[in-house]
């Protein structure tokens, strides 16, 4: 059953208010590209299918709010490459965010103990190094229009989401270079390496 604009209080609202309602209804939608089953995408709310007008207005906003989620940089890169072959105006090209969950890579790294002097250590740097190369390729495929957040894990199993992993790596290197020779030697003996917290957040959103 469809709803006509003449009889719908929702469609009688100004377009700006309707857009705010669409944005609220569609937030936090995710597309799990690692899965191979049909339930990998957050279903679009029924509001989209109420009538032709809500379908035309809401579908583009639904995809614009949708986030790609992957645990494999290679899969994410290939999926974004596939988008380049889609025609202009395709709904998937409206997606603006991607979340790359690399906590499994982090957990497979050396289980070094978290030091008191630094929030992160060599364990986390290895995790970043394993991701940054693929992330650079991802940005080349899609360009700056795509926001990519990366999740890494510390040895204490804390999860960190950052949209600037390159800056994090640079901060770690700068802090390390600022140390004296004796300080570096002592830290290496204790299994630590320097870190910075630039660009970090503790939640995905």
pLDDT at position 129, please?
Answer: 61
SS3 call for 150? strand
CB neighbourhood size of 65 (10 A): 20
pLDDT at position 60, please?
Answer: 84
CA pseudo-torsion sign 75, 76, 79, 81 = negative
* CB contact at 8 A, 195 and 155: no
| Average pLDDT per block of 10 residues along the chain, 205 residues long | 62 88 82 68 70 85 85 80 78 82 55 39 56 66 71 64 63 63 65 42 46
User: Which runs of consecutive H residues, i.e. helices, occur in 143-164?
Assistant: none
What pTM, to 2 d.p., does this model score?
Answer: 0.60
For the chain, the straight-line distance linking the first and the last C-alpha, in angstroms and rounded, comes to 36
Which residue ranges make up each domain of the chain?
A: 68-201
pLDDT at position 118, please?
Answer: 42
* CB contact at 8 A, 69 and 29: no
pLDDT at position 74, please?
Answer: 77
pLDDT at position 66, please?
Answer: 85
pLDDT at position 113, please?
Answer: 37
Residue from 15, 9, 125, 130 nearest 61 by CA: 15
pLDDT at position 168, please?
Answer: 55
Per-residue burial over 186-196, b if 16 or more Cβ lie within 10 Å, else e, is ebeeeebbbbb
pLDDT at position 201, please?
Answer: 43
pLDDT at position 43, please?
Answer: 63
- Structure tokens that stand for 24 in this block: 């609220």
């Amino acid at each position: 059953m469809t709803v006509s604009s003449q009889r719908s209080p929702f469609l009688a609202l100004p377009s700006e208010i309707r857009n705010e309602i669409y944005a609220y209804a569609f937030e936090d939608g995710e597309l799990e590209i690692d899965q191979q089953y049909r339930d990998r995408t957050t279903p679009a709310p029924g509001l989209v299918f109420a009538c032709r007008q809500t379908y035309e207005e809401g579908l583009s906003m639904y995809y614009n709010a949708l986030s790609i989620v992957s645990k494999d940089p290679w899969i994410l890169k290939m999926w974004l490459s596939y988008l380049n072959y889609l025609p202009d105006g395709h709904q998937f090209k409206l997606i603006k965010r991607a979340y790359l969950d690399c906590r499994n890579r982090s957990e497979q790294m050396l289980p070094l103990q978290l030091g008191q002097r630094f929030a992160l250590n060599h364990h986390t740097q290895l995790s970043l190094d394993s991701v940054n190369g693929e992330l650079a390729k991802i940005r080349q495929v899609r360009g700056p229009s795509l926001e990519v957040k990366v999740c890494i894990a510390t040895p204490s199993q804390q999860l960190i989401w950052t949209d600037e992993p390159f800056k994090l790596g640079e901060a770690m290197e700068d802090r390390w270079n600022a140390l004296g020779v004796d300080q570096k030697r002592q830290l290496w003996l204790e299994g630590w390496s320097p870190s910075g917290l630039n660009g970090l957040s503790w939640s995905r959103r």
